[in-house]
């Protein structure tokens, strides 16, 4: 997610950090590099021009140049400016809760609009606890209604579609009549390969008919700044209320995210962060700005952890850790909880200490799955008492999991190392705080519900423990 832009900004700020004192020349050089980084990220040229001009004006203030910690102050100015250009703050959905709220999904063909409609339904159903119906009003793409109906069944919400011969306005009319008792109706409208008057007229008519609470434009995040004109045209004709950027997890540049709000006035409300039906997240400008600057996103990490962690199991695990009874069965449980939180590389990007580390062999989703397979190939007794796993058992486990003996031996050795480390940490709570602090977590975050269950996560899938030597 925006890795290219993150890397560029991190290098720029590191270079400035080596300066004992900032002067006009240092600032000019830094802003020039920021300008190039934004242009390479496919940010709209006018946005880049305004961003760097405003940054230059604020960065050359007397308090920055003469400040005791001028570099930190400069970073804050850059951070605040990024937050501003990304939209300022998160904008929630407009759902009244009194009558049927209507959400129109609009956009070009191929943007991921239909899948995003289902993801949004899942989000509203689970996170907002509101009843939802999905309506297929795309009668031009043959597979559109079938796709939406399949997704609706997957998330257990009703679907309404009238077939390819029925007009979109009649489909919507029938859906409103049948599902007026629902809280939210999400309408998947037709897209085109490009904007045309027929499509826009149809959308305008649907808007008049439904008086939607939200008109959300769905765009492929990788479209970059080219999407700006398209969003602008849709906004002019329909008055869109927000944007959803799909495939944001694959976007290494960030041109669309940094261009849309400033050029169109339309806020980004959600981002698609994966292929799973739950992979839709509210867009928080401040969190993304932190990630761009290499500060990670601990708040999002903790939120994901709190959702995935079973509190009762976490408390039992904490007790086992205190007694030094953490076994491979517990480790398996931690892996499975971690998988619920999403893509591993994306999670690591949220934690500053991991984001700045060089990628390590064996620390990705594929190898995590291999580790899970190793443990699942063990007997219950072997998981509880890993000391009994001798040479013959290791050969059987390696064969059963599709691994080689070398990988299995490496994993078991590292698991034993982790147990020793956790024993030391649990005996001295201060060391645990130091560890979490080094990961960018403050005391308030450490006290959040659910975090005890994360204590078994260091070194998941064999991370080199030498990275934690400073905490010993």
Non-local (6+) Cβ contacts of 34 within 8 A are: 9, 12, 52, 55, 78
Contact predicate 172/209, CB 8 Å: yes
What is this structure's pTM?
A: 0.67
Q: Which of 170-174, 312-316, 364-368 is modeled with the greatest confidence?
A: 170-174
Q: Identify the residue with better confidence: 405 or 249.
A: 405
Q: How would you class 21 by CB atoms within 10 Å of its CB: exposed for 0-12, middle for 13-18, buried for 19 or more?
A: exposed
Give me the phi and psi of 410, to 5 degrees please: -60, -45
Q: What is the mean pLDDT of residues 374-388?
A: 91
pLDDT beyond 80 at 42 = yes
The confidence score (pLDDT) of residue 456 equals 35
pLDDT beyond 80 at 297 = no
Q: What share of the chain is helix, strand, coil (3-state, %, to 5)?
A: 60, 10, 30
pLDDT beyond 90 at 124 = yes
Own/partner pairs, 74-79, CB within 8 angstroms, 24+ separation: 74/16, 74/22, 74/27, 74/30, 75/13, 75/293, 78/9, 78/13, 78/34, 78/293, 79/289, 79/290, 79/293
C-alpha to C-alpha distance for 414 and 351, rounded to whole angstroms: 22
Task: Report the side by side order of strands in the sheet with 132-136.
Answer: 159-161, 132-136, 184-188, 101-106, 214-220, 242-246, 268-272, 280-282
Average pLDDT of the chain is 78
Domains of the chain: 3-86 (1.20.120.140), 101-283 (3.40.50.300), 298-471 (1.10.260.30)
The confidence score (pLDDT) of residue 454 equals 34
Q: Identify the residue with better confidence: 472 or 115.
A: 115
Percent of the chain with pLDDT over 70: 74
Contact predicate 339/461, CB 8 Å: no
């Amino acid at each position: 997610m925006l890795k290219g832009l993150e890397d560029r900004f991190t290098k720029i700020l590191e270079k400035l950090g080596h300066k004992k004192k900032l002067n006009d020349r240092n600032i000019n050089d830094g802003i020039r590099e920021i300008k190039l980084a934004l242009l390479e990220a496919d940010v709209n040229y006018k946005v880049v021009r305004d961003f760097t001009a405003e940054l230059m004006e604020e960065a050359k203030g007397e308090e920055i140049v003469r400040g005791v910690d001028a570099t930190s102050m400069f970073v804050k100015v850059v951070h605040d400016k990024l937050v501003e250009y990304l939209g300022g703050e998160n904008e929630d959905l407009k759902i009244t809760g009194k009558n049927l709220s209507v959400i129109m999904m609009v956009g070009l063909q191929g943007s991921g609009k239909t899948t995003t409609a289902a993801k949004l339904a899942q989000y509203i159903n689970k996170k907002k606890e509101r009843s939802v119906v999905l309506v297929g009003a795309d009668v031009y793409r043959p597979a559109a209604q079938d796709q939406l109906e399949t997704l609706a069944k997957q998330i257990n919400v009703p679907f309404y579609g009238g077939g390819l011969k029925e007009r979109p306005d009649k489909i919507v009319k029938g859906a409103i009549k049948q599902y007026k008792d629902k809280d939210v109706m999400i309408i998947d409208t037709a897209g085109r390969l490009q904007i045309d008057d027929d499509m826009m007229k149809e959308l305008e008519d649907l808007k008049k008919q439904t008086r939607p609470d939200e008109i959300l434009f769905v765009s492929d995040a990788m479209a970059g700044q080219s999407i700006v004109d398209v969003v602008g045209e849709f906004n002019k004709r329909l008055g869109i209320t927000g944007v959803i950027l799909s495939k944001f997890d694959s976007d290494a540049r960030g041109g669309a995210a940094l261009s849309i709000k400033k050029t169109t006035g339309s806020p980004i409300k959600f981002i698609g962060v994966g292929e799973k039906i739950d992979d839709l997240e509210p867009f928080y400008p401040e969190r993304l700005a932190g990630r761009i600057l290499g500060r990670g996103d601990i708040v999002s990490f903790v939120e994901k952890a709190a959702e995935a962690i079973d509190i009762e199991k976490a408390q039992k695990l904490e007790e086992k850790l205190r007694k030094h009874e953490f076994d491979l069965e517990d480790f398996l449980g931690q892996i499975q909880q971690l998988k619920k939180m999403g893509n591993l590389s994306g999670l690591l990007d949220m934690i500053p200490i991991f984001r700045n580390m060089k990628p390590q062999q064996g620390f990705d989703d594929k190898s995590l799955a291999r580790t899970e397979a190793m443990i699942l190939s063990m007997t219950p007794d072997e998981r509880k008492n890993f000391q009994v796993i001798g040479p013959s058992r290791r050969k059987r486990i390696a064969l059963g999991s599709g691994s080689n003996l070398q990988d299995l031996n490496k994993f078991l050795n590292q698991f034993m190392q982790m147990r020793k480390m956790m024993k030391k940490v649990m005996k001295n709570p201060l060391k645990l705080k130091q560890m979490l602090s080094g990961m960018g977590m403050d005391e308030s975050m450490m006290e959040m519900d659910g975090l005890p269950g994360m204590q078994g996560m260091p070194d998941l899938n064999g991370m080199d423990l030498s990275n934690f030597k400073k905490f010993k």
